[in-house]
């Protein structure tokens, strides 16, 4: 396992320490878990964005009536609806 140095504001370090204490875990484990969660979320989001862009590049768009139905479900009226 590798080690890295991360510079954090004092308040962030204090929050990390408080959370680690409440979880009865070492702060470095809590920080590692947080980084893993962040990476997984960002990787997923980037993959979804790239897939959406690829669909758009292929001209794969939702029909207007489907888009209008989604907006209507939130009480929003669209132009041409």
3-state secondary structure of 16: helix
Range of the domain at 40: 10-73
pLDDT at residue 77, as a whole number:
87
41 located within any domain: yes
pLDDT at residue 21, as a whole number:
98
1 located within any domain: no
pLDDT at residue 81, as a whole number:
55
81 located within any domain: no
Q: What is the chain's pLDDT, residue by residue, as a tens digit (81 residues)?
A: 899 999 999 999 999 999 999 999 999 999 999 999 999 999 999 999 999 999 999 999 999 899 999 999 999 988 765
Domain count, the chain: 1
Q: At what angle do helices 27-57 and 10-23 cross, to 10 degrees?
A: 110
Q: How remote is the C-alpha of 19 from its chain's centroid?
A: 21
pLDDT at residue 79, as a whole number:
78
pLDDT at residue 80, as a whole number:
63
19 Cβ contact list (under 8 Å, min separation 6) = 30
26 backbone dihedrals φ, ψ, rounded to 5°: -65, 145
17 backbone dihedrals φ, ψ, rounded to 5°: -65, -40
């Amino acid at each position: 396992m590798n080690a890295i140095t991360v510079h954090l504001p004092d308040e962030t370090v204090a929050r990390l320490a408080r959370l680690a204490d409440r979880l009865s875990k070492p702060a470095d484990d809590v920080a590692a878990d947080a980084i893993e969660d962040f990476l997984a979320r960002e990787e997923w989001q980037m993959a979804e964005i790239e897939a959406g862009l690829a669909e758009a590049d292929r001209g794969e768009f939702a029909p207007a009536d489907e888009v209008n139905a989604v907006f209507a479900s939130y009480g929003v009226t669209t132009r041409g609806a």
